[in-house]
Structure 1
Amino acid sequence: MQAIVETLFDMIYLSTVTFLGFKMLKEHGGRRQYALYGFMALILGFGDAFHLVPRAVALSTTGLADYTAALGIGKLITSITMTFFYVILCYVWRERYQVMGRQGLTKWVWILATTRMILCLMPQNQWISATPPLSWGIYRNIPFAILGLLVTVLFYQFAKKSEDTAFRNLWLTIVLSFGFYIPVVRFADTIPMIGVLVIPKTCAYVWTVWIGYKAMKIGK
């Protein structure tokens, strides 16, 4: 039952975000922010597929234990693509609100993203191990969480200041995604039921993508 429900949920998620991503790339009409948003959605979908597809195969066949290496490599790829997701979202912020200057802020975005990716690539993560160290799961997510917080604050401040109703809840989707993600990183290995939080986390990302798609369709 778990294999069926989880696989169905994951396939709907991947199909939804990639479909919306392609639609935005096709229909952005020269509006750079939506072209970026579409590309961001595709990175989200294709990146997560590297982890979710092997997981679906594992659940449907001989079990997760027999796919440790594939799942670990998939998590590594997903970690990198999720980092780029937030970098691109920062550029969406610049385009949407016509932010000029603030190059120091953009530099910090890249510093945090680069630090996160370097930490992800360190062998101490033991991605293909059945028991990767929790400590490195925390280390690599510190700059990621700071990056997410930075993007959250930017969208909250500028959407409020600009009375941007289309993007007024974008900051909330980021807060929710991290709010559900952090307990999974910290406790899922010792309390397996915590892993169920990936479902609302995933829904938060779908909401993020939907906000951009809906804004494009209504011309905001």
Structure 2
Amino acid sequence: MDLSIIDVGLVTKLLLLLLIGMGPKIALVPFLEMTQKFDGPTKAKIGRQMVLTATITALILLATGALLMRLLHISGGAVAIAGGIVLTLLALKMAAGPTEKHHDDDLGAPVDPEKIAVFPLAIPYLLNPVGITVLIIASDEIVSVASAALVVGLVLIVAAFDYLVFTNIDVLAKRMKPASLIISEVVFGILLTAVAVTLVISGLSQLGIISASAAH
């Protein structure tokens, strides 16, 4: 990721990566499942808290990612591989379809809206391994005020889109068919697995374990 030259291609690539890494798709189904027993205002409150938490975390990662990499002696390649491995676990779960059911009532423990808004909805579903990886690597690649402003601006644009989706989830849910959601979840899980593999290959290439030509 070269942030020294800002052009349409770079902006498009970053926006697409952030939509995958911080957009609503991965968090949508878990959000609907975990908030189905709450009323509309509570769902909107959870959505606001989730988006706020993910956005603040994203900006902190962007501000401190490069420093953390230097303190821990971690390379961008290692970050890409780690993000790819964690994303693989999440993507395979999505690709497998809905196989787990939550039985909170059976456990006798009421669900705390504020807690689920932070974990697991904000992280790792909304701000997922792709987003975390992109932001840490971008932090290390920022070379100017313009490049920093670009990444921050794109993060805020994606966050605004998330806010619109999750604070109006009841309106959107009425237009969503359960079967379509399941199919899109499986398809997106397969696509995310491919993204995860690409991250791992890119990381291996950066570390010199495989040749650059093999990574393309």
Scaled by the length of structure 1, the TM-score of the pair is 0.30
Judging by fraction of residues, say which structure has more helix. Answer: 1
- Structure having greater relative contact order (Cα 8 Å, sep ≥ 6): 2
